[in-house]
Amino acid sequence: MQSFRNLADLSFDSHGLLPVIVQDERTRQVLMLAYMNREALDLTLQSGEMVFWSRSRQRLWHKGETSGNVQRWVALYVDCDADCLLALVEPAGPACHTGNTSCFYRTLATQELE
């Protein structure tokens, strides 16, 4: 496994955001997709817990700040284009605001699509 050493080489989009796929380190279940700006990434690295940029609220969002369902990061991976992160985490509870373990709990009913 290669190391990615320079945060300046990350390719944030035109809004200054980087998508982050969050996966349970133990089960490997994909929990959620979120976004980070550079400040959220720095806070994540410093605190050991996931901090994101909320696009809807236009502010930093420490995962679990209201629910207590924080996510402690175990490893962070950078994709080949340096424009996406994969975070392996230890979740303290459900990732989804609906109470589901993962935000990906619905299947696309292809027979019923409009």
> Are the C-beta atoms of residues 85 and 12 closer than 8 Å to each other?
no
Instruction: Please write the tens of the pLDDT for every residue from 34-85.
Output: 999 999 999 999 999 999 999 999 999 999 999 999 999 999 999 999 999 9
- As beta bridge partners, residue 85 has 20, 78
Closest CA to 50 of 65, 30, 29: 65
Residue type, 21: I
pLDDT band per the 50, 70, 90 thresholds, residue 2: confident
pTM, two decimal places: 0.91
Domains along the chain? 7-112 (3.10.20.810)
89/94 Cα distance (integer angstroms): 12
3-state secondary structure of 21: strand
